[in-house]
Structure 1
Amino acid sequence: MHTPNHTALLLVDVQNDFLPPTGSLAVSGGRDILPVIHRLLADPSRYALVVATQVHHPPGHISFASTHAAPPFTIMNMLWPDHCVQNTKGWEIEAGVQGRLGELGDKVRYIHKVRVLFADNLYTSFTSLPGLLYTNGIKDLVIVGLATDYCVRATAIDACKFGFRTRVVKDAVSAVDVSKEDVVLKELERWGCEIVLGSDVLA
């Protein structure tokens, strides 16, 4: 049952550096999801809270190939192109989405993250997100954003672990590796996520 007072819309990393054609780590289908996200933001009465996350890397972050004078995608762990460096154009949320968020006033919260969203990999410490959701009475998360096979995946799995009803909007997420999109969505279903369409959320 849809209960707006217990529902949060969670926008994961809809940032310029993840969007074609100019993003340094662009997800090929990233722009295709924007119209669905705009529609979901058009009726804020559906949500008690809208949370927008941003990858927030410092210059010279350890995950950057440039930090190690190595070519991008070198496997050490994976080294990435410089992306989402704090306060750069690539770090900013896509302009159309940010415009919608700006209209929602104090219903919106922003979370800056280096990598994780709920907790570190060993669950020995937690970010501000669980407390934000729990203190606002949130029970139901609607997740959109980038990328399906990275931060969306990790966020959705953690949301299930933390006891939230978790809906991932299939037409409002996109994967870095397109061949893994359906595989990841099926994995998320096994964790307990509901895979829905934007039209289902708006129904």
Structure 2
Amino acid sequence: PARQNGAEVVPIINHLLETIVFDYIVYSYDWHPVNHISFVDNLRNRTRYIKGGYNASIQVYDTVTYTGPKYETEQVLWPAHCIQNTDDAKLHLDLIVNTDKNNIIHIRKGTDPDIDSYSAFADNIKVQKTVLDTELKKRNVTHVIVAGLALDFCVGATALDAMDLNYKTFVVEDASR
């Protein structure tokens, strides 16, 4: 939905996974309920919460400000994507997914229908945190390398949060879109 060709980064990420020994690998997933706030198709169900009122010209990739039901937040509107328990929410089929349970962390984000989560650490307004920071600190992780989709949203937000949490943070631009 972020208008990138995600398949382009898979071979690059796979190369990193095959050539670098990482202590831990985190796979983050958008894992949205069907009624998620970010889906443009759900806009009509949330008209009373749109700051300035509903406008029929609002479309995909526009930004609106919601004043409820639980939070006030700016939201980019996306096509429906990564709906929980669908194939669309799975990692790319060609991506190497390490199955060693001792060094893998899976993070599902965007699970609350009323707030989006670009970062693998927390939602967009920092009301709800994922377990990622706790899990990394428990494992004494000090450096975080981020790659994937989308550089200007999820990768960027994850990297910024990692820096805010005092991790030495690196973004692999070639492995991000």
Q: How many residues align?
A: 147
Match of 1:73 in 2: 61
Residue of structure 2 aligned with 1:127, choices 119, 130, 146: 130
Q: Which residue of 2 aligns with 1:136?
A: 139
d(CA) in 1 for partners of 2:93 and 2:165? 31
Structure-2 separation of matches of 1:66 and 1:112: 22
Q: Which one has the bigger helix percentage?
A: 1
The one-letter amino acid of 2:176's match is: V
SS in 1 for 2:120: coil
Output the aligned Cα RMSD. 2.0
CA distance in 2, matches of 1:107, 1:128: 15
**Equivalents in 2 of 1:96, 1:130: separation in Å?**
28
**Alpha-carbon contact 2:29-2:89 (below 8 Å) kept:** yes
Residue matched to 1:186: none
| Residue 48 (structure 1) aligns with | 23
Counterpart in the other structure of 2:105? 109
TM-score by length of 2: 0.74
Kindly provide the amino acid, as one letter, of the partner of residue 72 in structure 1.
Answer: V
Mapped contact 2:2–2:150 kept (Cα < 8 A): no
Q: Provide the C-alpha distance between the structure 2 equivalents of 1:119 and 1:157, rounded to a whole number of angstroms.
A: 11
Structure 2 residue identity aligned to 1:66: D
Kept in 1: contact 2:33–2:83 (CA 8 A): yes
Provide the secondary structure at the position in 1 that maps to 2:88. coil
Amino acid at match of 1:80: W
| Counterpart mapping for 1:33-44 below 5 A | 33-43=9-19
Structure 2 equivalent of residue 150 of structure 1: 153
Letter in 2 for 1:107: N
Q: Is the 8 A contact 1:101 1:108 kept in 2?
A: no
Runs of at least 5 residues in structure 1 that lack an aligned partner in the other structure: 1-24, 175-203
> What is the Cα deviation at residue 29 of structure 1?
3.8
CA distance in 2, matches of 1:120, 1:105: 25
State the Cα deviation string for residues 49-91 of structure 1 (Å, max 9, x = none).
Answer: 1000001100121211111246423442432110110011111
What is the deviation of 1:117?
2.3
Identity value in percent: 31
Q: In 1, are the aligned partners of 2:162 and 2:169 still within 8 Å (CA)?
A: yes
34, 37, 60: which one aligns with 1:59: 34
Q: Is the 8 A contact 2:146 2:159 kept in 1?
A: yes
Distance in 2 separating the partners of 1:121 and 1:71: 21
Alpha-carbon separation, structure 2, partners of 1:73 and 1:163: 32
- TM norm structure 1: 0.65
Structure 2 unaligned residues grouped into runs of 5+: 45-57, 65-74, 111-116
Higher mean displacement: 134-143 or 100-109: 100-109
Aligned to 1:30: 6
| 1:49/1:109 contact within 8 Å kept | yes
Deviation of the 1:127 alpha carbon: 1.9
